[in-house]
């Protein structure tokens, strides 16, 4: 019986063209329709591995790790200065799924700087913020603001240690007036001291102490003093 050979079935040409068009591994610069450009590694048509992306509209540049098309791993994001056109760092640190997550450092246009933890793209966890006026805050953050326990230090050395809520002093805390040699220990609410006790603290070392020290109250007979105060109060009612 004669053997009949049939021609091998061939896939359509567009399958081969699509396979060759798939970007995998290291590639030279690839330009998007909107002018953005990427140079680096790919996996299944997605930026994956080490690479550098430049956004044409803003001129911003990211150089670092990628995973399935998003910043993931360690990398640096920079933007051009509007005057000098030189690139300045905005953030360098860890990323996850396109957002700042983990340890990182942010650089602000006015010279301020943040070093610490991020979550979901905002400051969250433990971190230190150095402000333009020379003050600094170190402590807990949540939702991009000081929340929890932290210390605010002023340029003259004065400092607050205690609770924070939504970026304001809130809860039990201590305020050290190093310039005057005094200490206020009490409770704060929305940045305002509501109650507390002020005492002298290293007054002899203070650069600008008050004219008179805070007098100490000594109660030799607390029961007698209270009884006398109660009698005066009763007389006032009569």
Q: In angstroms, rounded to a whole number, what is the distance separating the alpha carbons of residues 102 and 92?
A: 11
Residue 191 within a domain: no
- pLDDT value, residue 203: 85
**pLDDT (0 to 100) of residue 225:** 44
- Evaluate whether residue 230 is within a structural domain: no
Residue 191's pLDDT is what? 96
101: left (phi over 0), alpha (psi -120 to 50) or beta: beta
Residue 59 lies in a domain: yes
Residue 141: CA count within 13 A, CB half-sphere: 24
Each residue's pLDDT expressed in tens, for the chain with a length of 238 residues: 566 655 565 655 444 544 554 556 666 788 889 999 999 999 988 999 999 999 999 999 999 999 999 999 999 999 999 888 899 999 999 999 999 999 999 999 999 999 999 999 999 999 999 999 999 999 999 999 999 999 999 999 999 999 999 999 999 999 999 999 999 999 999 999 999 999 998 888 888 888 878 887 665 554 554 455 455 445 545 5
- The predicted pLDDT at position 147 comes to 98
Query: Is the residue at 61 inside a domain?
Result: yes
Query: Rounded distance, CA 128 to CA 61, Å?
Result: 26
State how many domains the chain has. Answer: 1
Identify the pLDDT of residue 196: 93
The pLDDT value recorded for residue 230 is 54
- Within a domain: residue 5? no
Residue 79 sits in which domain range? 26-97
Backbone angles phi, psi at 126, to 5 degrees: -110, 135
User: Is residue 31 situated within a structural domain?
Assistant: yes
Q: pTM for this structure?
A: 0.78
Residue 36: both structure tokens together: 């953005």
The answer to the question of residue 48 being in a domain is yes
Q: What pLDDT is recorded for position 15?
A: 43
Domain assignment present for residue 37? The answer is: yes
Question: Which pLDDT belongs to residue 224?
Answer: 53
The pLDDT, as a whole number, for residue 233 is 43
């Amino acid at each position: 019986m004669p053997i009949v050979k049939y021609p091998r079935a061939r896939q359509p040409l567009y399958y081969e063209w699509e396979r060759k068009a798939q970007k995998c591994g290291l590639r030279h610069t690839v330009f998007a329709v909107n002018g953005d450009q990427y140079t680096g590694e790919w996996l299944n048509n997605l930026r994956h591995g080490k690479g550098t992306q430049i956004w044409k509209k803003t001129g911003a540049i990211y150089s670092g790790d990628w995973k399935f098309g998003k910043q993931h791993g360690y990398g640096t994001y920079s933007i051009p200065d509007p005057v000098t056109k030189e690139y300045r760092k905005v953030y360098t640190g860890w990323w996850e799924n396109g957002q700042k997550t983990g340890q990182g450092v942010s650089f602000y246009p006015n010279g301020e700087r943040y070093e610490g933890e991020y979550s979901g793209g905002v400051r969250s966890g433990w971190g230190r913020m150095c402000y333009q006026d020379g003050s600094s805050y170190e402590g807990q953050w949540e939702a991009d603001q000081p929340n929890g326990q932290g210390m605010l230090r002023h340029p003259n050395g004065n400092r607050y240690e205690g609770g924070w809520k939504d970026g304001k002093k809130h809860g039990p805390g201590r305020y050290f007036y190093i310039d005057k040699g005094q200490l206020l220990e009490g409770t704060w609410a929305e940045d305002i001291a509501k109650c507390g006790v002020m005492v002298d603290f290293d007054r002899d070392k203070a650069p600008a102490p008050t004219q008179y020290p805070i007098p100490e109250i000594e109660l030799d007979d607390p029961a007698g003093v209270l009884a006398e105060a109660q009698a005066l109060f009763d007389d006032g009612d009569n």
